Amino acid sequence: MKGRKGISKKVRFEVFKRDSFRCVYCGSAASEVFLVVDHVEPVAKGGPNDIMNLVSSCESCNAGKGDRILSDASVIAKRRKQSEMLAERREQALAVLEWQRGLAGIREEIARKTLAPLMQGTGWELSESGLRKVMVLIKEVGVEHVVEAASSSTEFLVRDESGNVSQESWEKAYGEVFRRARWFDSCAKEPNLRDAAKLRAGLRYRFPGRGNPADWSRRLSGLLAALNAGISVEKLRGMLSECRSPWQVDDVLAEIRKES
């Protein structure tokens, strides 16, 4: 009697891969059990080492089977169920992919319509990179603030005698959309911010060229804190009207902080 011919590692791997690394009898995964290659028609009864006669089996199922021939129908049924599950997963994955593509298309359309004031009649279009940046901005601050920013930023558009918008002015207006949209978002979150900014603007007009941007940023925070403490805009404006320098403004704001 000839000895039993072994199954190569390559064939074993192909069998495991075909059966999704699961026992075809009980469904256990390779991560849960130790898989072996089993002969559907036992070797003892003439079963060949052909891959069509080989299936993945856990040690428990293989030991219980012995040299009995399992019903072809049971193996086929298990394989059919696995195939149906894989087909369903594939259909679901394709559906999700289509949904994502459709959603991306909607977002792109919203971004284009949001910046319509800067694009219609100007001869300029958003690049793919610019479009993605607008989509991120909309996600960050909301479409309403971006629409408001785009509409107000049209003041930066400069046209020549032929009515064409210069590239420099369009790029400036486009950049301003981002600054203003974030500002509008900040004002929505902090109701007193606009009034504080107006008070600061008045002070900077009175004291041109006095102090660096960091100083004026700090003064804006101080003005906002004063308004949040309950001091009215009129009262605060009156308190600041006596100041003769930005540093006196700092003193007034420091006193307000102490009292509050």
185, 131: one domain: yes
What's the token pair of residue 239? Answer: 């308190």
Q: Which residues contact 123 (CB under 8 A, 6 or more apart)?
A: 164, 165
Domain count, the chain: 3
177, 216: one domain: no
Residue range(s) defining the domain that contains residue 206:
193-259
| pLDDT (0 to 100) of residue 230 | 93
User: Does any domain span residue 243?
Assistant: yes
**Model-wide pTM > 0.85:** no
| pLDDT (0 to 100) of residue 101 | 73
> What Å distances lie between residue 228 and 31, 118, 224, CA to CA?
60, 36, 6
Q: How many CB atoms lie within 10 A of CB 54?
A: 22
Q: Which residues contact 126 (CB under 8 A, 6 or more apart)?
A: 111, 112, 115, 119, 134
> Which residues in 200-221 are b (16+ Cβ under 10 Å) and which e?
beebeeebeeebeeeebeebbe
User: Does any domain span residue 83?
Assistant: no
Residue 63 has pLDDT above 70, yes or no: yes
Cα distance between the two ends of the chain? 102
Name the range with the highest mean pLDDT among 43-47, 105-109, 250-254: 250-254
Q: Which residues contact 155 (CB under 8 A, 6 or more apart)?
A: 173
Q: Quick one: DSSP state of residue 126?
A: -
> Which residues in 30-39 are b (16+ Cβ under 10 Å) and which e?
eeebebbbbb
Q: Quick one: DSSP state of residue 204?
A: H
- pLDDT band, very low/low/confident/very high, at 3 (cuts 50, 70, 90): very low
Mean pLDDT of 22-41: 83
User: Does any domain span residue 81?
Assistant: no
Residue finishing a domain among 173, 189, 205: 189
Q: Which helix (H) or strand (E) holds 58?
A: strand 54-58
Residue 30 has pLDDT above 70, yes or no: yes
Minimal CA–CA distance to 143: which of 116, 169, 120?
116
User: Does any domain span residue 98?
Assistant: no
Residue finishing a domain among 174, 189, 204: 189
Residue finishing a domain among 70, 86, 116: 70
